[in-house]
Every structure is written in structure tokens, then in C-alpha cells.
Structure 1
Amino acid sequence: MGGFNKLEPVKAAQKCINNYYPNCDGALLAGSVVRGEATSTSDLDIVIFDDTYRSSYRESLIAYEWQIEVFAHNLKSYQHYFESDYKRARPSLPRMVSEGIILKGGGVIDSIKCEAKELLSKGPEKWSIEIINTKRYFITDTLDDFIGCNNRAEEIFIANTLAELVSEFVLRTNNKWIGASKWIIRSLRDYDVNFAEQFVEAFDIFYRSGAKNEVIKLVDEILHPYGGRLFDGFSLGKK
């Protein structure tokens, strides 16, 4: 971290807590600096627990040459976010709490960390057959658009949608957490490094050359164990 020519992240985070949130019950530093993945544009993610807060909130500031994102909770409000993250299968707060370095309030934080780790190890809620079939249909619909499109600008964005749908399908049908943006590929790598490489290569070939065959092949291989593409006979919301 010395290469960034700024205060070391844990020290900067500790100063932030001491100066801006001195009365909090507990705090931890999370994010890329904790995982050893920080870049020159990385910020500090700090989670605050203060039981005097009426509700959760989020705020940003610049201090000690760092951009700092603060996620503030009382000693109950974080549970709502844990539950919400579980339902959407994107464990943002549980992951931050689980991996975070404790800055203050070890006893308080240790208990919340245990909750986070238990939730993460549990994995997301299993998809029903109905949900799987609905996802198959929308993937099929998007794949058909992708195959038939001959407008370069449009097919780029169709491919983006297809990549998100397919990554979600693979992860959820294997009881794994999903992600957004950079966390899509991170989640795929957590699931299967070899598959993640195959996934990236297929879409990279398309983005570089316009060739669609590898993407089409990949999608069909993923859908095959669940019955393949789905259109004929599908219905949604029929009484």
C-alpha cells in the first residue's frame, strides 16, 4: 500500500473512527484494502455500529487523502440488511462484516461477525423448479435476440444482458452467491475458476471479433442439464 503515497489504510480508518465517530460501539474496515486487492482508485469501506442511531445510513467523505465510504448501523438495523442481502443472494454487508478488520468494539463486532459468517456459509435460498424454468425462458429469449441481431451496437448490449442472466443462473442453480459489476466474475471464480475462464473467453471472443458461436455453445451447455432452451409451453402468471 506504500506505493499509493498516503496514510496506511488501517491507520487512516482508525483516525476516521476516532475523529468522526468517537462514540460508536464498534467499527471495522472492509473492502479491497482488506483483501489485498486495492488499486490507486480504491476507497476505504468502513462499517460503523452505534446503538444511538435511529436507523441505518450511508455517507461518503474524503479524509487523510482517502475516499471513505461509511456504512452506519445500530445494533439491530444491520439484521434487516443481512436478511435483504440473503433474499437477493448478494451478501454485500455480510461479506464486509465477515472479512473486515476490527477497529473498535471487539466483543460487539465478534458477535456480528459470527452472524455474517454463518449466513455466508449457508448460501442463498435454493431456487424452485418454477424459478429455474422462468430463468430458462428469459435466457432463451435473450439468446434468440443475440443470435438474430445483426446490429453491432444492439448486440453488444444484448450480450451484456445475456452475460448477467447466465452468470446468475449458473451461480444460483449451484447454491452460490451472485454479484454485480466486478463481483460477477469474482463470484464465478469462487464457484469454479475453470468455468469462469471459459465464461470470460466466450464473451471476450464475441466482444473482440463479433463471433457468437462460443457464447451460444456456452449458454446451451449451461441450460442442457435443466432441459435446454425453453419457449414452447412456457407461461407466467396464468390462473
Structure 2
Amino acid sequence: MNNVEDIKREARALLDSGPEAWADETIEMKRYFLTDVLDDLIGCTSRAEGLFMASTLATLVCEFILRTNRQWMGSSKWTYRALDRYDTHAARELVAALERYYQTNEPDALIRYVDETLSPFGGRLFAGFSRGKSNET
């Protein structure tokens, strides 16, 4: 039977190896979700709605960055902390883009951040996406 130290070592190894890699279908689905919210923000005319969209984008883009790089993520403050631990530059850029939007209602930096994040995976995924099938336009 394992002793406590063996169990701790095994748990540490599991944590250090990160979560299972996302399947291509999951990456496509997450690209679509990001694209959908991003498009909503681009066309947004309501400050109140835009605030919620920016918050949703922040969470989704953090999840995308972390999980496509096999990193664990948390929720709320732990989402930011996980991104900062993984890539401090990316975390600071995202915060700056969010600050700009929240202070000036100018979404360009946030749009650019999401687009740069999606770029290595094929960019935005537009209409025509359905689970198990995708059509890029």
C-alpha cells in the first residue's frame, strides 16, 4: 500500500503534467465561441452589454490560451493567476486591453488580442460551424 509521500509524489506528477490536450473538435468549438462573442462586441452599441461581453471574452481567451498549452486554469482570480504564471506578458497584454476597453469603450486592443490568440489555430471560426463539422469563411 502507498504511503502518504508516494501519494503526494503521484499527485504532484499529475498536476505537473497538466490537463489532457484538447481534441481538434474542442479547439474548433472554443474558436467558434470566442468568434461569436468577439463579433457581438464588435457590433455592440450598448455599454452595459459590452462590459459583460468583455468579461466573457477575458475568461474564454484565458481558457483558450491555457488549455491549448496544456495548462490548468481556475476561475475568477485564479484564471488570471494561471495565465500570469504561464505567460506574464500575455496576462499583462490582456489586462491592458481590458483596461482600455473599460476606460474608453474602445475595443480594438481586445479584438486584436483575441485575433492574435486565435491566429495560430486558424483564426476566427465563423457561421456554418456545427458540432462535429466546421465550415470556415
- 1-structure distance, mates of 2:105, 2:78: 25
Aligned counterpart in structure 2 of residue 203 of structure 1, from 98, 104, 126: 98
Q: Stretches of 4+ moved more than 3 A in 1?
A: none
Give the C-alpha shift of residue 232 in structure 1.
3.5
After superposition, the CA RMSD in angstroms is: 1.5
Question: Which residue number corresponds to residue 75 of structure 2?
Answer: 180
Q: Which has the larger radius of gyration?
A: 1
Relative CO higher for 1 or 2, CA cutoff 8 Å, sep ≥ 6?
2
Aligned counterpart in structure 1 of residue 113 of structure 2, from 209, 213, 218: 218
Give the C-alpha shift of residue 111 in structure 1.
2.8
Q: How does 1:51-200 map to 2 (within 5 A)?
A: 108-200=3-95
- 2-structure distance, mates of 1:204, 1:109: 45
Identity of aligned residues (%): 52
Give the C-alpha shift of residue 112 in structure 1.
2.7
Give the C-alpha shift of residue 110 in structure 1.
2.2
- 2-structure distance, mates of 1:177, 1:171: 7
TM (normalized to structure 1)?
0.53
TM (normalized to structure 2)?
0.90
Structure 2 alignment gaps of length 5 or more? none
More strand by share: 1
- 2-structure distance, mates of 1:179, 1:186: 8
**Across the two proteins, how many residue pairs are aligned to each other?**
132
Structure 1 alignment gaps of length 5 or more? 1-106
SS in 2 for 1:150: coil
More helix by share: 2
